[in-house]
Copies of this chain bind each other. A is one copy, B any other.
């Protein structure tokens, strides 16, 4: 077979390749039936090869989740850096970026908040999640300083904002934001209601 020499015995960067394959599957598959063997198969290696790079299935899942948080953070940061006039508009943009990210990577987003991605046993995953959360927190603090957001405890704003965005994202990818229930543009509508509660300008 000519295939024998298509790829050297040693892959070169199998770890990266496995992660890429898995991320692609997560972005594509709605079903979310993640299988280590299928990742290996699609990457073109034997089903035991991944164990040379990840202790077990969950270790790979946690690494994927970590990358997800990094990417999500980047999306939100970019959305906030578009030179929008008000802090309120920046919050809206970051929130919509997060929900857009979830809709484009439903499997990955679910994974990031699933019990498979246990943050209590992986400091780097925990750090990545904290860092992304920190982006939101920074925006809220800035908004309070410039007088956009009400001077209540910033932790209250943070909990409210985070829960709202995460809840909308989860409902969106679960296809539960049906028009019959919540109107035609539920995301900005809901965010506006929340922002009315967060902002000073009534």
Contact = CB atoms under 8 A, between A and B. Distances in A.
Interface of A: 30-32, 110, 113-115, 119-120, 129-130, 133, 137, 150, 152-153, 155-160, 162-168, 170-171, 174-177, 181-183, 186-187, 189-198, 202
A164 B160 contact: yes
Contact of A193 (B119, B165, B176, B198): B198
A194 B197 contact: yes
A163 B171 contact: yes
Contacts of A189: 152-153, 155-156, 159-160
Contact of A158 (B130, B152, B162, B182): B182
Given A153-B189, A160-B190, 15 more contacts: A32-B115, A113-B174, A113-B176, A119-B176, A130-B181, A155-B186, A156-B182, A158-B182, A159-B183, A159-B187, A159-B190, A160-B164, A162-B171, A193-B198, A196-B196
Q: Which of A162, A171, A190, A198 has the most CB of B within 10 A?
A: A190
B129 A155 contact: no
Contacts of A171: 113, 162-163, 166
A77 B159 CA distance: 25
Nearest to A183: B155
A160 B194 contact: yes
List 8 A-B pairs, minimum CB-CB distance, nearest first. A197-B197, A167-B167, A155-B183, A163-B167, A156-B189, A196-B197, A160-B190, A159-B186
A100 to B, nearest CB: 15
Nearest to A166: B167
